[in-house]
Amino acid sequence: MIETIDLTKKYGEFSALESLNLKLEKGDLFGFIGPNGAGKTTTIRILATLLAPTWGEAYVCGHSIYTHPREIRRAIGYMPDIFGVYDDMRVIEYLEFFAAAYRIDGPQRRRVAERSLELVDLTVKRDELVTSLSRGMTQRLGLARVLLHDPQVLLLDEPASGLDPRARIEMRGLLKRLQGLGKTILVSSHILPELADICNRVGIIEYGRLLACRDVQGLLAEVRGRPVIRIRVSGPPEPAARLLERSPEADKVAVRDGEVLVTLAVGCEEPSALAARLVAEGFRLESMRESEVNLETAFLEITRGSLGRPTDDTPPARAPAPGRGA
């Protein structure tokens, strides 16, 4: 449904996007993760045919961004991180206005608007002024707007930005529901644990380069490496750490936040020998568990940090005119 081939965007010497190769299949809910200035918004705008790349190619629903931009715009629903609303319109009027822009005419326009409101659980607000909506409801209204023409692909740039915890939970459920309807969704977000819960695949981008792209569990397994066991004993942890340093089951031993962290040696799959060794030497074991690896841990492990780069995906004030290039 979405494919990019060496997609690159440059502004003079600055590379906002560098040789991006990405492929999303039908029904994917893809989480696009990266610090500010990583290239997420640049990628989404290129896919939405709102920004021309310097070189490279991109296809959406089989259509090239160069030769069939109109077909792509009919097939996608694009929701930017910040979008304007018309203050003097009611919710149903707002959606009918955009339905007309999609050339949905006559009685069908009202039916389509009502259907979109129902899909995002906003029917109770249909006659309210747009300005009366909360931030979370405004985000849902924006999503209802991009669903009016029943697009196959959704490009959502930070849809949960600025939402309170309840609104984020509702947005997460809504995205899962849309995936269940067969939509292909690319969503950028900094709320990493929630992406792990809803996305079947994730991509991590930094400095305009895609550093990792695979299913969530595969990514976590790659970062996890050898297991790390966290051990807490009664009393100071340093004597226990010195004992375990001599254990053949331990490769590395460190003390952090009152716990002994033991990286298991290669080939060691059973950490119970560590507990037995401590008990035999008179230590009182309070807890012992394997250190968990989540999407935030993976992100911090794979990325190097965003220092030294601009903190915005948007181009400089005076950017050279983009061209197709090689």
* 298-302 average pLDDT score: 71
What class does CATH assign to 2-222?
A: alpha beta
Q: Hey, which CATH number is domain 228-290, 1.10.760.10, 3.30.930.10, 3.20.20.190, 3.30.70.100?
A: 3.30.70.100
Domain ranges of the chain: 2-222, 228-290
Task: With a cut of 60, say whether residue 10 has pLDDT above it.
Answer: yes
**Can 2-222 and 228-290 be said to share one CATH topology?**
no
CB burial class (10 A; 0-12, 13-18, 19+) of residue 108?
exposed
Task: With a cut of 90, say whether residue 307 has pLDDT above it.
Answer: no
Task: Work out the angle at residue 149's Cα, subtended by the Cα atoms of residues 111 and 195, and round it to the nearest 5 degrees.
Answer: 110
DSSP sequence for 244-281: HHT-TTEEEEEEETTEEEEEEPTT---THHHHHHHHHT
Task: With a cut of 70, say whether residue 306 has pLDDT above it.
Answer: no
Q: Exposure pattern of 285-313 as b/e (b: 16+ CB <10 Å)?
A: eeebeeeebebeebbebebeeeeebeeeb
**Which is nearest to 54 in space by CA: 95, 14, 109, 101?**
14
Q: Looking at residue 50, what DSSP letter applies? A: S
pLDDT category of residue 69 using cuts at 50, 70 and 90? very high
Cα separation, 279 vs 27, in Å, equals 52
